[in-house]
Every structure is written in structure tokens, then in C-alpha cells.
């Protein structure tokens, strides 16, 4: 009797394992949370150094159009405008294509097509961005040069490269959200006399709307943060673009170009950190947007 009482109340191998497992998970969580926290603090501190130590006004930084760190001109507006332009343009072009491919694969073509195409699309998602940049440099830029004249480098080339880069991601996510629409909705709609197209436009797309929105924001977030591929084709001149064929520079491309050529702690270096801070804030905004759009879907 005494023995059983002891066994019931004392720790055993199982309870120790449980405890150990919990400890490891909590430590991992603290590590990840801590890392994110440290990055946020570090970037914020470095990012505001330009305003605090070098006396550049925040508004002047955000609205100024002249970016010449060597001459102490820190106007980041051209990069902000260009970053948003290429992101939004590539997102807008990619969305209808992703939708059409997703509709074709999930609603029209046999299941077999999906089984072959899905791994292919995932492969495309995994291709390093430098490859897309190289494609842009060797194919898209010369082609644009031929058709529109000029150098070929610029907003349009960057948009094309980003479009190619985010299309697989967006397509894959759009397909997933279409496949998540219950089969019974399709049956019910067809049972009420709907054609396939009516079913797609009236039931399936509205049901998958939040997933599609999330896919678009996700793709745009990726485009916004892409540095290398853009840098290779955009021409890298820090002016506000006046047309699609104008050379320009994004936040990320200026960062990658400049960070190796400045000295830690100088104003020109701090200015780059401030650009990074804008990027971080924007990524957080994209994340929040994604959260909001996918939460609405869980209703």
C-alpha cells in the first residue's frame, strides 16, 4: 500500500521527460523571441542615429528627393517611391495570373496535373533570387532595350524580374487556398443549376478571398524585401522615376550597394541604417496586413 502511494506521488522517468521537453521548448522560444527583440532594438537604435547624432530631420529624410550621402544630402523619398512602385506593379501583374493558373489547376484540369505541377512550382519558389536577377540581366534588360530603347535598366525590368520571382509563391498559395474550399460547396452550387464558371465566380473565389489576399500580400512582401535581383536590373540611380524605363533604386538595392562602401558610425553609414529601419517597419506592416487578412478568413 505504502509502495503504491509512493509510486503515485513521486516523479518518474516519464514525468522527468515531460519536464525536460518543456524546458527545451521554453528555452527555444526565449531564444527566438530574444533574437527578434535584439534585431528590433539594434535596428531601431542604429536607424535613429542619423536623426539623433547627425542632426538630420526625420521629415527631411522621408520627403527629401536628393540622396547624396557624400555631400550630406539624405533624401530617401526616391527609394521609397521606387520600392513601392515595383512592389505594387509586380503584385498587380502577378495576381490575375496566379488566379487564372490556380483556377485552371484546381477547378478544370484533372488532379494529375496538380500532382505534377505542384512540385514544379515549389521548385521555382526555391530558386535563389540571384538566378532571377541573372535572367533579368541577360534576357529581360536586352529585350527591353531593343523594344523601348534606352539602357533597358529600370523600373520595368525590376518589375518583370520581381513578377517572375513572386509568381510561383503567389500561385502556390492561391492554389492552396482554392483547394481549402470544401468540395461540398462545389457540389451544392452545381446541384442548384450553376455552371462551372458561376460556381467559381460566386462561391469559390469569395470563399478563398482571404487566402488569395494573403498570397498577394506575401508575394508583395517578398518583392519589397528583395535586394539582389532588383539591384542587378534597376540601374541604381537614386532619383524619383518619371517613367517605367527610368533607372532608379529601391531601399534594398541602395542598402546592398552602399553598405560595403561606408564606414561604421559615419553619417552616410547611419543613413543606410535608417533605410533599413524603414524596410523593417514596412515588413512589419506587411506581416500585420497578412495576419489581418488571414484572420478574417478563420471566422
C-alpha 275/C-alpha 134 separation (Å) is 25
Distance CA(219)–CA(60), nearest Å, equals 31
Near another protein in 3-62, by CB under 8 A: none
Q: Note whether 77 binds another protein by CB under 8 A.
A: no
Q: Site mask, another protein, residues 130-159, x = CB under 8 A?
A: ------------------------------
Of 90, 72, 74, give the one whose Cα is nearest residue 82: 90
Binding string, residues 168-187; x marks residues near another protein by CB under 8 A: --------------x-xx-x
| Contact pick of 97, 125, 190, 228 for another protein (by CB under 8 A) | 190
Residues ≥6 apart with Cβ < 8 Å to 153:
141, 233, 234, 235, 247
CB 203 to another protein: min, Å: 6
Q: Which of 166, 203, 234, 282 binds another protein (CB under 8 A)?
A: 203
The smaller minimum CB distance to another protein, of residues 83 and 177, is found at 177
| Coil, helix or strand at residue 186 | helix
CB of 191 to another protein, least distance (A): 4
**Residue 208 vs 275, nearer CB to another protein:** 208
For residue 294, state whether it binds another protein (rule: CB under 8 A).
no
Rounded to an integer, what distance in angstroms lies between the CA atom of residue 170 and that of residue 97? 9
Does position 242 interact with another protein (CB under 8 A)? The reply is no
**Using CB under 8 A, which of 81, 104, 124, 194 touches another protein?**
194
Among 44, 118, 151, 207, binds another protein (CB under 8 A): 207
Find all residues with CB under 8 Å of 299, minimum gap 6, and list them. Answer: none
Q: How far is the CB of 208 from another protein (least distance, A)?
A: 10
| Grid cell 529585350 in the structure block, residue | 143
Q: Cell digits for 144?
A: 527591353
CA angle 82, 84, 170 (to 5 degrees): 125
Phi, psi of 240 (to 5 degrees): -70, 125
| Residue 191 within binding range of another protein, rule CB under 8 A | yes
Query: How far from the centroid of its chain's Cα atoms is residue 78's Cα?
Result: 20
Which lies closer to another protein via its Cβ, residue 231 or residue 293?
A: 293
- Partnered with residue 67 across adjacent β-strands are 74
User: Which stretches of the chain bind another protein, using CB under 8 A?
Assistant: 182, 184-185, 187-195, 198, 202-203, 206-207, 299
Amino acid at each position: 500500500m505504502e509502495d503504491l502511494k509512493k509510486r503515485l506521488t513521486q516523479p518518474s522517468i516519464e514525468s522527468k521527460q515531460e519536464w525536460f521537453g518543456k524546458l527545451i521548448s521554453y528555452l527555444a522560444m526565449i531564444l527566438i523571441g530574444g533574437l527578434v527583440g535584439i534585431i528590433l532594438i539594434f535596428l531601431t537604435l542604429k536607424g535613429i542615429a542619423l536623426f539623433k547624432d547627425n542632426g538630420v530631420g526625420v521629415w527631411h529624410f522621408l520627403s527629401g528627393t536628393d540622396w547624396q550621402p557624400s555631400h550630406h544630402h539624405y533624401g530617401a523619398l526616391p527609394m521609397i517611391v521606387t520600392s513601392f512602385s515595383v512592389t505594387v506593379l509586380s503584385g498587380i501583374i502577378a495576381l490575375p495570373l496566379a488566379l487564372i493558373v490556380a483556377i485552371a489547376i484546381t477547378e478544370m484540369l484533372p488532379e494529375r496535373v496538380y500532382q505534377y505541377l505542384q512540385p514544379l512550382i515549389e521548385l521555382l519558389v526555391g530558386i535563389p533570387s540571384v538566378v532571377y536577377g541573372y535572367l533579368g540581366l541577360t534576357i529581360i534588360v536586352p529585350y527591353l532595350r531593343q523594344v523601348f530603347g534606352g539602357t533597358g535598366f529600370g523600373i520595368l525590368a525590376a518589375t518583370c524580374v520581381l513578377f517572375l520571382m513572386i509568381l510561383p509563391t503567389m500561385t502556390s498559395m492561391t492554389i492552396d487556398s482554392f483547394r481549402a474550399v470544401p468540395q461540398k460547396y462545389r457540389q451544392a452550387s452545381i446541384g442548384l443549376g450553376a455552371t462551372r464558371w458561376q460556381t467559381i465566380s460566386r462561391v469559390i473565389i469569395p470563399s478563398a478571398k482571404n487566402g488569395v489576399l494573403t498570397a498577394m500580400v506575401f508575394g508583395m512582401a517578398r518583392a519589397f524585401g528583395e535586394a539582389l535581383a532588383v539591384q542587378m536590373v534597376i540601374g541604381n540611380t537614386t532619383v524619383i522615376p518619371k517613367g517605367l524605363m527610368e533607372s532608379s533604386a529601391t531601399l534594398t538595392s541602395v542598402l546592398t550597394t552602399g553598405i560595403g562602401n561606408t564606414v561604421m558610425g559615419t553619417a552616410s553609414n547611419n543613413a543606410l541604417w535608417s533605410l533599413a529601419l524603414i524596410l523593417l517597419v514596412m515588413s512589419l506592416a506587411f506581416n500585420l496586413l497578412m495576419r489581418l487578412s488571414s484572420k478574417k478568413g478563420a471566422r
